[in-house]
Amino acid sequence: MIFRYVILSALKNLQYERSVSAVYYLIQGKQSIQTIQDAHLFEIDKYYRITKYLNKKRFMKEIQLLEQELYLEAMPNENYYELTSKANEWLEKNESKMELWIVNGMRYHYIDDVFFERLLLTIQVWANFVKNERTYIPVIEKFEVKHWVKQYFINSKNNVAQLMKNLYEELAEILHSIDELYVEIFVLQLTSYKKYGLAKVQIAEKTGSPKEDIELMTLTVVHQILDKVDAEPTRFPILAHLKSDVTEEKQLTFSASKTKSLLQKGYTIEQVAQQRRLKENTIYDHIVEIAIHDQTFNIQSYMTTDERHDIIKAIQQVQSYSLKDIKQAVTENISYFQIRLVLASWNKYL
């Protein structure tokens, strides 16, 4: 139900100016300026990247179902859909229920799963340690997470029993303010000593909800924890520590991060393209991607201050994020790449 709610309400917010693919890119979190600008422009930024692992096939299947069940009606343009009156009524009817479901994708997308995975693994490591169990299979496989938890464990080794009590207090305090069903779904996934948490598909079977709903409900709990911890980090020292030193930059695609490291070594765009046997346009895309994810990224090396001001002025003048419109309003020698770069670092300039 939540998954459907997200799709329908996102589509509605987009005011039928975008195809359903835009919804997919939004919730799956495509790292493109278009998607991120859509998110802000249509006020659906909280949905950004809330289903990171959703594949397109599964998404399109849901669209098909929604059409078959008369929630969506195809528009003349391919892949454009309109909400039916049935869908609008359904959204309205479920609005109060959905108040329990609180997420902030744009704010937490880069940290939510790392934080949750660190929490899961830390609990497992501590529980096994106090039970003197040294041979067990860690529930999280990711290299970075394992490495981080290992370091944390080394530093916390002498105090584990107390820390587990404190963690219970910290979690319990936050969880009390969240809906019970959501909390139960969250807690069932935790792994302890000789007791592995339930898989999401198992909880889905148990509750009769689709797997995507279980993921989205878990996300609510994770985001609420992050919210509370951000507001009062000193009150929740263990949880605050679990979210420390995660930087947004780590979310770059593999290819873009390769480009980034070459640029940092002082190679020019042409040289990077040559060395990686890629087109220069691809490298431009990478730079834009880097700028989106790292608001401290210096775009000055790709344009003069005057050029930048010119672009900003044009954006304000045409009142649109359309590259074409902006291009027409700036001096001729400014490239699409430069406009995209300014748009990418919009937090800083707009």
Partner 1 sequence: MTRIHIQANLYEHLRNHFSYTSFHEGQEEIILDVLRGRDVLGILRTGTGKSLCYQLPAKMLPGITIVVSPLISLMIDQVRELEAIHYRQVVALHSFQQWSERQTILRNLHHYKLIYVSPEILQNKQIITLFKQQHVSLFVVDEAHCISQWGYDFRPDYLRLLEVIETLHNPTVLALTGTATPNVQNDIQDKLKRPNMIEHVYPMDRENISLVVEEINGSEAEKLDHLLTWIKGTNEPTIVYFSSRIATEKVAQHIANQLANKRVAYYHGGLETTDRLKIQQQFMNDQLEIICCTSAFGMGINKANIRMIIHYHLPPQIESYIQEIGRAGRDGRDSISVLLYRQEDIHIPLQIIENELPTHAELRFIMERLIDYQDNKVLLPLDEDVIEQQFLIQPTKWRYLLYQLEQHGIVKEQEVQTTESTIKEVFNEINHFTEQRLRAKRQQLNEVINWIHTQSCLRTKLYEPFQQDITRKEANCCSNCGVVLEDSLEHDVSTDKETSDWQTLLKRVLLIGDID
CB of 155 to partner 1, least distance (A): 19
Nearer to partner 1, 286 or 308 (CB): 286
Nearer to partner 1, 160 or 312 (CB): 160
Residue type, 38: D
Nearer to partner 1, 56 or 324 (CB): 56
The DSSP secondary-structure symbol of 192 reads B
Nearer to partner 1, 53 or 336 (CB): 53
Are 221 and 183 a contacting pair, CB within 8 Å?
A: yes
345, two tokens: 């670092």
CB of 124 to partner 1, least distance (A): 9
CB of 201 to partner 1, least distance (A): 5
CB of 211 to partner 1, least distance (A): 9
Nearer to partner 1, 87 or 120 (CB): 120
Greatest C-alpha distance within the chain: 70
CB of 164 to partner 1, least distance (A): 5
Q: Measured in whole angstroms, how far is the alpha carbon of residue 271 from the centre of its chain?
A: 32
CB of 126 to partner 1, least distance (A): 8
Residue type, 268: T
Q: Residue 2: CB partners within 8 Å, gap ≥ 6?
A: 98, 101, 212, 213, 216, 217
H or E, element range at 82: strand 81-83
| Residue at token pair 């390769």 | 258
| CA–CA separation, 6 and 1 (whole Å) | 9
Are 36 and 288 a contacting pair, CB within 8 Å?
A: no
331, two tokens: 């001096």
CB of 176 to partner 1, least distance (A): 9
Of residues 48, 49, 42, 41, the one with CA closest to residue 14: 42
CB of 130 to partner 1, least distance (A): 5
End-to-end alpha-carbon separation of the chain, Å?
37
H or E, element range at 24: helix 20-28
Are 315 and 321 a contacting pair, CB within 8 Å?
A: yes
CB of 194 to partner 1, least distance (A): 5
Of residues 297, 294, 286, the one with CA closest to residue 255: 286
Nearer to partner 1, 153 or 302 (CB): 153
Residues of the shown chain interacting with partner 1 in the complex, contacts defined by CB under 8 A: 53, 55-57, 123, 127, 130-131, 134-141, 143-144, 161, 164-165, 167-168, 171-172, 175, 180, 183-184, 186-188, 190-202, 205, 254, 257-258
Nearer to partner 1, 16 or 168 (CB): 168
| CA–CA separation, 347 and 350 (whole Å) | 6
Nearer to partner 1, 45 or 289 (CB): 289
309, two tokens: 């001001």
Q: Residue 13: CB partners within 8 Å, gap ≥ 6?
A: 42, 43, 44
Nearer to partner 1, 100 or 199 (CB): 199
Nearer to partner 1, 118 or 308 (CB): 118
CB of 250 to partner 1, least distance (A): 9
